Amino acid sequence: MIPQHAPRALPTALLLSSLPARRRWWRWWGDRQFFVGGSFSSSGRRCRFCCGRAARRMGGVSGNDVATALAEKAALAMVVADPASLERKKAAVRDRGTDNLQVIADFDGTLTRYWIDGCRGQTSHGLLKSNPETDAKIQAQYEYYHPLEYSPAIPIDEKTKLMEEWWEKTHSLLIEGGLTFDDIQKSVSSANIGFRDGVVELFEFLEEKDVPVLVFSAGVADVIEEVFRQKLHRSFRNIKVVSNRMAFDNGRLVAFKGKTIHVLNKNEHALDMAAPVHDQLGDSNGSSDNSAFVKKRTNVLLLGDHTGDLGMSDGLNYENRISVGFLNDNVEKSLKTYQEAFDMVLLNDASMYGVLELVSQLCSPDKQ
């Protein structure tokens, strides 16, 4: 069996894997295929937080076996250009402790899956349905601009202008089409959108460790929060969404609040919106009810699916930043760019289990 997310024709030196040189095999548990054998980290430590949970769902399978399977399947889809640099950053973050760690994550194509059942998953912008005429116009905009977003041939300054043009046209169409909040709820319910495997376990682990998560998105906050409600069926006290906000009048969309955030200008606008979130929540020594969110967390784990997402941490006074990039498509054309930009690259719409293993190492007082 060929693993779904296994990279093809990549230099062996780039693959982050400590699998022993013995015969490897595949095992089926329920409807999931896992790689079995070896150890993800050099010490053999595994993330038991999620694996015990997964083992209970599967029944009759030990948490350690699931830990090994999930971690190694993630390793097969992982590329690290400079392992030594990553290890130094991990050690620095670990030494400062979880009280100094925060996670900044993009939403579409990062927390959510790029492909669902063989079809392109919808984005928080793309899933909105208003009326047939407006929907057709928005789809036409998507078909024109989306290939430009991921084209490696377009200079970044030119691409930024195109993305701003796309977002503003789409927002105008949604207002003109008379979108309502009821439309948002119905659209999410029928949407082809879903979170990556391992996202819930990641959020639960971070919530348990009181590590704040800021979800920066060029989509729509109102839609993203509805996706959380309907697809995860729960909320997390440590997660805040920073994105384009809608203004409603009697349930009908009348405007978008503030400046437009698109996929390539988060470094310019998103942190302007995030700053009050940090300020109002105070620091860990304060009396804020949201003590998990602190004003000064000097270590950042950044998750994104576009090199422009790296700008989400610009303006933060961080000491160390570990960046993880999800390269969902055009792997052969874009791999070099991604591995030069991110500390770690996850290929072909990989699961979130590789990130969960990384976070479990960062939050461990023991050297991995």
| Reported pTM | 0.72
Percent of the chain predicted with pLDDT > 70: 70
**Tokens standing for residue 333:** 């054309």
Please give the average per-residue pLDDT across 180-200, as a whole number: 95
With tokens 């879903």, the residue in question is: 194
Task: Say if residue 212's pLDDT is above 80.
Answer: yes
Give the per-residue pLDDT at 104. 93
> Mean pLDDT over residues 1-25, rounded?
33
Q: Which residue has the higher pLDDT, 169 or 27?
A: 169
Residue 72: the pLDDT is: 55
Residue 35 has pLDDT above 60, yes or no: no
C-alpha 247 chain-centroid distance: 26
pLDDT of residue 45: 34
- Give the start-end residues of each E strand in 84-237: 101-106, 115-116, 119-120, 213-220
Per-residue pLDDT at 64: 59
State the average pLDDT over residues 134-148: 92
Q: Domain ranges in the chain?
A: 12-76, 83-114+196-362, 120-190
Contacts with 79 (C-beta within 8 Å, 6 or more apart), sequence order: 7, 10, 14, 15, 16, 335, 338, 339, 344, 345, 346, 347
pLDDT in tens, 198-211: 999 999 999 999 99
**Residue type at position 253:** L
Which CATH number is 83-114+196-362's, of 3.90.1150.200, 3.40.50.1000, 3.90.1150.10, 3.30.56.10?
Answer: 3.40.50.1000
CA distance 26 to 285: 49
Cβ atoms of 223 and 189 closer than 8 Å: no
Query: 110 — phi, psi (to 5°)?
Result: -115, -65
Among 238, 236, 218, 220, which residue's Cα sits nearest to residue 228? 236
Averaged confidence pLDDT in the chain: 77
CATH classification of 120-190 is 1.10.150.340, yes or no?
Answer: yes
Q: Which of 108, 183, 309, 349 is catalytic?
A: 108
Both tokens of 351, joined, read: 């699961």
pLDDT at 217: 86
User: What mean pLDDT do residues 89-95 have?
Assistant: 96
What 3-state DSSP class applies to 80? coil
Residue 108 known to be catalytic = yes
The predicted pLDDT at position 125 comes to 76
Mean pLDDT: which of 85-89, 221-225, 315-319 is highest? 85-89
**Amino acid letter, 333:** K
Residue 256 phi/psi, 5° resolution?
Answer: -110, 135
Instruction: State the CB neighbour count (10 A cutoff) for residue 303.
Output: 27
**Mean of pLDDT values over 26-42:** 30
261-318 pLDDT, tens digit per residue, is 887 877 555 656 554 445 444 433 333 344 334 557 889 999 999 898 898 888 777 8
Closest CA to 73 of 10, 17, 13, 9: 17
State mean pLDDT over 173-197: 94
For residue 258, the model assigns a pLDDT of 83
What is the Cα–Cα distance from 283 to 279, expressed in whole angstroms? Answer: 8
Beta bridge partners of 245: 257
Say if CB 93 and CB 368 are below 8 A apart.
no
Q: Which two tokens stand for residue 88?
A: 């130094």
Q: Which residue did the predictor score with more confidence, 356 or 63?
A: 356
Q: How far is CA 41 from the centre of its chain?
A: 22
Residue 13 has pLDDT above 70, yes or no: no
Mean pLDDT of 155-178: 93
Tell me the two tokens of residue 364: 């461990």
More confident residue, 260 or 31: 260
pLDDT grade for 8, boundaries at 50, 70 and 90: very low
Instruction: Point out the catalytic residue in the list 31, 82, 95, 106.
Output: 106
User: What gap in Å lies between CA 166 and CA 142, rounded to an integer?
Assistant: 8
Which distant-in-sequence residues (6+ apart) come within 8 Å of 244 by Cβ? Answer: 167, 171, 217, 218, 219, 220, 221, 256, 257, 258, 260, 261
C-alpha 183/C-alpha 30 separation (Å) is 36
The 3-state secondary structure of 33-55, one letter per residue: EEEECCCCCCCCCCCHHHHHHHH
pLDDT of residue 311: 86
Determine the average pLDDT of the residues in 339-359.
95
Whether residue 337 is predicted with pLDDT greater than 80 in this model: the reply is: yes
| Nearest to 154, CA basis, from 347, 334, 25 | 334
Give percent of the chain with pLDDT exceeding 90. Answer: 51
pLDDT tens track for 239-248? 988 888 999 9
pLDDT-derived band at 350 (thresholds 50, 70, 90) equals very high
